[in-house]
Amino acid sequence: MLKSRTFLKKTRAGGVMKIVREHYLRDDIGCGASGCAACGGAHEGSVLEPQPLDRVSSLCPQPHYLLPDTNVLLHQIDVLEDPAIRNVIVLQTVLQEVRNRSAPVYKRIRDVTNNQEKHFYTFTNEHHRETYVEQLQGETSNDRNDRAIRVAAKWYNEHLKKMSAESQLRVIFITNDRKNKEKAVEEGIPAFTCEEYVKSLTANPELIDRLACLSEEGNEIESGKIIFSEHLPLSKLQQGIKSGTYFQGTFRASRENYLEATVWVHGDTEDNKEIILQGLKNLNRAIHEDIVAVELLPKNQWVAPSSVVLLDEGQNEDDMENEEERERILKTAVSEKMLKPTGRVVGIIRRNWRPYCGMLSKSDIKESRRHLFTPADKRIPRIRIETRQASTLEGQRIIVAIDGWPRNSRYPNGHFVKNLGEVGDKETETEVLLLEHDVPHQPFSQAVLSFLPKMPWSITEKDMKNREDLRHLCVCSVDPPGCTDIDDALHCRELENGNLEVGVHIADVSHFIRPGNALDQESARRGTTVYLCEKRIDMVPELLSSNLCSLRSNVDRLAFSCIWEMNHNAEILKTRFTKSVINSKASLTYAEAQMRIDSATMNDSITTSLRGLNKLAKILKKRRIENGALTLSSPEVRFHMDSETHDPIDLQTKELRETNSMVEEFMLLANISVAKKIHEEFSEHALLRKHPAPPPSNYEILVKATKSKNLEIKTDTAKALADSLDRADSPTFPYLNTLLRILATRCMMQAVYFCSGMDTDFHHYGLASPIYTHFTSPIRRYADIIVHRLLAVAIGADCTYPELTDKHKLADLCKNLNFRHKMAQYAQRASVAFHTQLFFKSKGIVSEEAYILFVRKNAIVVLIPKYGLEGTVFFEEKDKPKPRLTYDDEIPSLKIEDTVFHIFDKVKVKIMLDSSNLQHQKIRMSLVEPQIPGISVPTDTSNVDISEPERKKKKLQK
């Protein structure tokens, strides 16, 4: 049956266009109940159980299915995901509304409906002849959708009666909308609110904790005292932003001070790019990463960023007097030039809440169900939740979601979602680390895995089309030990004309991952492989990453080759790109390759090839550095794990060999060659990578630090910086140059992906290259897959597709890739920090030499070269007399009593694990040398136990 609607639309040119919308209605859409004779086999996908007896509800003892409305799906998704909730009918009307209102919830509901064990059935009520409803005149689309849901619920109950005479099967309508529920009951549909239904499931009391508390009024605490001003409605905010009264921006909370935040204003205005907010009332219930509207305060109320560290540790959750006292601490006397534009939040444009990991701070009130949850991320406020399982959740890492933040509550309200496991447990902490850094790490879905090649796999004639056979070449790979995802291999041979042929062969991942399919979408979402200390979160399934795409030795593999003809002075004479087939003759580690190069007895073809590559690489590196490329340093650490417990048993900085540099030189050269080629072909939509030059202010600390050591660093250009770093040497202090390079690294900007059609500055500052991209690691970076596709089209080896030449889509993709890379970096650092804690937990207390990297007002930040470990030595402690501190920002230096500390000074520190705060265990450092009475600690304090806060306090009071 066909329904059609006709309406007229005025065109831009002023004409009138007639539009006909056709809507097909069908008789053959199944109800989803297995065993329903009326529908026959018309069901598609997951089906409902014939007699659902898993849930016993005191409100409805008979077997039943659930039919939720849109708001239940949007706000109570945590309840619906619980294993106890099965046999649910999701209407097309509801699914469409959810899709329009929340992409994350839509994805979660799709995942649930794809899970066969949950028995969620999607019913296309909008195309079923008996459940389709037309919008009545004067009826809002919202009311029409509510009516459509009720019509479907009623149809289901009548339809299920026909299944069998004795069947008591019913459909229960779940809605939190009072009017909709009343209408449903009038129409004879069994209807309950989500809370009523969940509380009726007496066998599953834990489900109550997962209920989102929605009515903000109902959750206002008894005192009822209004703390915050009202948020303005969206229409007023948009008007205000348009007229310039308000500014729209991203709210960034401070890690160090819970009473302070900054708002990064959107748009190109240089003035007021960053607005400071201070005090609870001005923060006005905004949460980190929310999009907010801010009003600037008058200039006489502007403040300076505070240098005070304030953590929200109060036990009394609504002690506002204490808060006001703390806010007064922030307002220190500062000079006029330190003041920054200051404002207050007047409304929320978009909430960016996510589920938060953390720990429960159990209430002191006996039998209380209300407790505070402390998130692991210090930028997130504590959250009030109601739970009956507080005793079992103490000492556990849990996930909590925020539901709302009433005006008269000091903290937002939320609900318990999931228990992750015990604090300190390696699996639990890794899970927390991945969730907190938003690293997608669920196993690959069946939909994704279905696009993998069928095993056993072999190269076919079709695969050889547009591909060169390079299996005869002496190709080898050089990687870190234990590497299974081998992206790249190299070869070097002499040509008959006396020149050299050098090839970089990269795994042809884009052959296996075709544009737009589920595998491609998942790889694009993940963006990068994340390497933690003891595990790897792959961007692509293991069959590809460790097998079919990995360029292992002695097997045929598909590759994308970049081949140069060079003279012996490493000058490129010709460049060509081709898809190829290779057979690597050896998979070597950096140490094995180095051993071959240095060996006097080995002269086989692999070794000869490596020596040729190494010789050219040295010339390339020298030339690159002459052009102004920077050689920076960062103290990278490697853990040696116990083979059985996987605990770290040793910790040392990574050793770099010549062969590391050799591989790096050819990867850089390939990336630059490919960047030039794809930009020539696609000037508007090449995916490139740039590294912006840092603003001069970034270098202030480096310049001051070198000045204090009577050295000079020039920062006008990358070349000037590189040359002055080379010259900054001290015969009496050999480690100084490494420290300078580490400090210079901290001054740098982040390198980012961008689309060539959306930017004009392509320069890569660190590499001193006018153009650059990523081509050499497609197994672990999605950017490289796009670059492979662009290059394949450029050389005629593959066909294009619309998204590849859409610069706006490419710009969005770059935005996600930049975010994923940044998060992967943070997750890796967090993993190193956690394993360092485990190491010192078993190692006990140690004293080591360290160098000062930064001086602060009340602390020094030091680097311990032996462990590549950085930490802060504080000079002001609770319950201890305060020492005399004098801080000089110009030098910079910190005078403690009569001892002066400068950057790069050598000190001796004691390192131990402080477990007094279970949630935020940390490495604690104390000064041993130079000795300052009342500040320095003796070297041998092995009897100190810092695992319990109480015992720690007693020791301090002695």
Q: Output the six-digit token pair for 167.
A: 């069947």
**427 pLDDT more than 90:** no
Q: Are residues 762 and 740 in the same domain?
A: yes
Q: What is the pLDDT of residue 552?
A: 93
Please state, for a pLDDT cut of 70, what percent of the chain lies above it.
Answer: 87
Q: Are residues 571 and 613 in the same domain?
A: yes
Residue 415 backbone dihedrals phi, psi, to 5 degrees: -140, 155
216 lies in some domain? no
Q: Are residues 715 and 663 in the same domain?
A: no
Domain that holds residue 659: 446-686+772-824
| Domain edge (last residue) among 151, 183, 210 | 210
Q: What is the pLDDT of residue 949?
A: 40
Instruction: Identify the band that residue 218 occupies on the pLDDT scale cut at 50, 70 and 90.
Output: very low
Q: What is the pLDDT of residue 559?
A: 95
255 lies in some domain? yes
Q: Are residues 753 and 779 in the same domain?
A: no
| Residue 616 burial class via C-beta count within 10 angstroms: exposed 0-12, middle 13-18, buried 19 and up | buried
**514 pLDDT more than 90:** yes
CA-wise closest residue to 161 among 69, 47, 44, 38: 38
* Domains contained in the chain, number: 6
Contact assessment for residue 637 and residue 651, using Cβ atoms and an 8 Å cutoff: yes
CA-wise closest residue to 874 among 940, 949, 937: 937
Q: What is the pLDDT of residue 947?
A: 45
Q: What is the pLDDT of residue 879?
A: 65
Q: What is the pLDDT of residue 630?
A: 83
Amino acid at 790: L
| Domain edge (last residue) among 152, 175, 210 | 210
326 lies in some domain? no
Contact assessment for residue 419 and residue 427, using Cβ atoms and an 8 Å cutoff: no
Average pLDDT over residues 715-727: 84
Q: Are residues 606 and 662 in the same domain?
A: yes
| Domain edge (last residue) among 423, 455, 472 | 423
Angle of helix 700-708 versus helix 736-747 axis, rounded to 10:
160
Peptide bond into 692 cis (omega under 30): no
**534 pLDDT more than 60:** yes
Q: Are residues 87 and 173 in the same domain?
A: yes
Q: Output the six-digit token pair for 696.
A: 């001069």
Q: Are residues 882 and 751 in the same domain?
A: no
Instruction: Identify the band that residue 619 occupies on the pLDDT scale cut at 50, 70 and 90.
Output: very high
Q: Output the six-digit token pair for 597.
A: 């190069």
For 262-298, how does the pLDDT look when each residue is reduced to its tens digit (9 = 90+)?
A: 998 887 555 558 899 988 889 999 999 999 999 999 9
Q: Are residues 75 and 151 in the same domain?
A: yes
Average pLDDT over residues 535-555: 92
For 121-151, how does the pLDDT look when each residue is reduced to its tens digit (9 = 90+)?
A: 999 888 888 898 888 888 888 889 999 999 9
Q: What is the pLDDT of residue 223?
A: 47
Buried b (16+ CB within 10 A) or exposed e, 676-714: bbbbeebeebbbbbbbebbeeeebebbbbbbebbebebe
| Residue 260 burial class via C-beta count within 10 angstroms: exposed 0-12, middle 13-18, buried 19 and up | buried
Residue 122 backbone dihedrals phi, psi, to 5 degrees: -90, 120
**452 pLDDT more than 70:** yes
DSSP string, 442-500: SPPPHHHHTTSPPSSP---TTTTTT-EE-TTS--EEEE-TT-----EEEEEEE-TTS-E
User: Alpha-carbon distance 849 to 930, whole Å?
Assistant: 11
Between 918 and 487, the more confident residue is: 487
Query: Which residues on neighbouring strands pair with residue 419, listed in sequence order?
Result: 398
Q: Are residues 239 and 348 in the same domain?
A: yes
Average pLDDT over residues 561-577: 94
Contact assessment for residue 99 and residue 160, using Cβ atoms and an 8 Å cutoff: no
**533 pLDDT more than 90:** no
Query: Which residues on neighbouring strands pair with residue 504, listed in sequence order?
Result: 490, 562
Give residue 93's region: left, alpha or beta (phi > 0; psi -120 to 50): alpha
Q: What is the pLDDT of residue 217?
A: 41
Residue 456 CB-half CA count within 13 A: 1
**158 pLDDT more than 70:** yes
**216 pLDDT more than 60:** no
Contact assessment for residue 423 and residue 918, using Cβ atoms and an 8 Å cutoff: yes
* CB neighbourhood size of 490 (10 A): 25
Average pLDDT over residues 153-175: 82
CA-wise closest residue to 313 among 257, 262, 370, 395: 257
955 lies in some domain? no
Average pLDDT over residues 566-573: 93
Instruction: Identify the band that residue 915 occupies on the pLDDT scale cut at 50, 70 and 90.
Output: confident
State which of 190-204, 327-341, 782-796, 838-852 shows the largest mean pLDDT: 782-796
Q: What is the pLDDT of residue 54?
A: 62
Q: What is the pLDDT of residue 332?
A: 53
Instruction: Identify the band that residue 530 occupies on the pLDDT scale cut at 50, 70 and 90.
Output: very high
678 lies in some domain? yes
Q: What is the pLDDT of residue 489?
A: 96
Q: What is the CATH number of the domain that holds 143?
A: 3.40.50.1010
Q: What is the pLDDT of residue 950?
A: 37
Amino acid at 59: L
Place of tokens 């169900």: 369
Query: How far out from the chain centre does Cα 650 lie?
Result: 29
Q: Are residues 598 and 745 in the same domain?
A: no
311 lies in some domain? no
Amino acid at 332: T
Instruction: Identify the band that residue 449 occupies on the pLDDT scale cut at 50, 70 and 90.
Output: very high
Contact assessment for residue 852 and residue 904, using Cβ atoms and an 8 Å cutoff: yes
**326 pLDDT more than 70:** no
- The answer to pTM > 0.75 is yes
Contact assessment for residue 783 and residue 753, using Cβ atoms and an 8 Å cutoff: yes
For 360-394, how does the pLDDT look when each residue is reduced to its tens digit (9 = 90+)?
A: 887 766 667 788 898 988 889 999 888 878 888 88
State which of 7-21, 556-570, 695-709, 798-812 shows the largest mean pLDDT: 556-570
Query: Which residues on neighbouring strands pair with residue 769, listed in sequence order?
Result: 764
Please state, for a pLDDT cut of 90, what percent of the chain lies above it.
Answer: 34
Q: Are residues 671 and 712 in the same domain?
A: no
Amino acid at 563: I
Buried b (16+ CB within 10 A) or exposed e, 299-330: eeebbbbbeeebebeeeebbeeeebeebbeeb
Average pLDDT over residues 760-778: 91
State which of 261-275, 492-506, 620-634, 893-907 shows the largest mean pLDDT: 492-506
Place of tokens 């496991």: 421
Nearest 5°: the CA angle 667, 669, 671 is 70
How do the residues of the chain divide into helix, strand and coil, expressed in percent and rounded to 5? 30, 25, 40
Q: What is the pLDDT of residue 363?
A: 72
Query: How far out from the chain centre does Cα 174 lie?
Result: 35
Between 132-146, 235-249, 329-343, 501-515, the lowest mean confidence (pLDDT) is in 329-343
- What is the maximal distance between C-alpha atoms in the chain? 97
**Average pLDDT score over the chain:** 84
Contact assessment for residue 781 and residue 451, using Cβ atoms and an 8 Å cutoff: no
For 335-369, how does the pLDDT look when each residue is reduced to its tens digit (9 = 90+)?
A: 566 788 899 999 999 888 888 998 888 776 666 77
For 841-899, how does the pLDDT look when each residue is reduced to its tens digit (9 = 90+)?
A: 877 788 888 888 888 777 888 888 887 788 888 887 766 777 787 877 777 888 888 88
386 lies in some domain? yes
951 lies in some domain? no
Q: Output the six-digit token pair for 876.
A: 């002001």
Q: What is the pLDDT of residue 628?
A: 84
Q: Are residues 80 and 198 in the same domain?
A: yes
For 672-711, how does the pLDDT look when each residue is reduced to its tens digit (9 = 90+)?
A: 999 999 999 999 999 999 999 888 888 888 888 888 777 8
Residue 77 backbone dihedrals phi, psi, to 5 degrees: -60, -30
**3-class secondary structure, 871:** strand
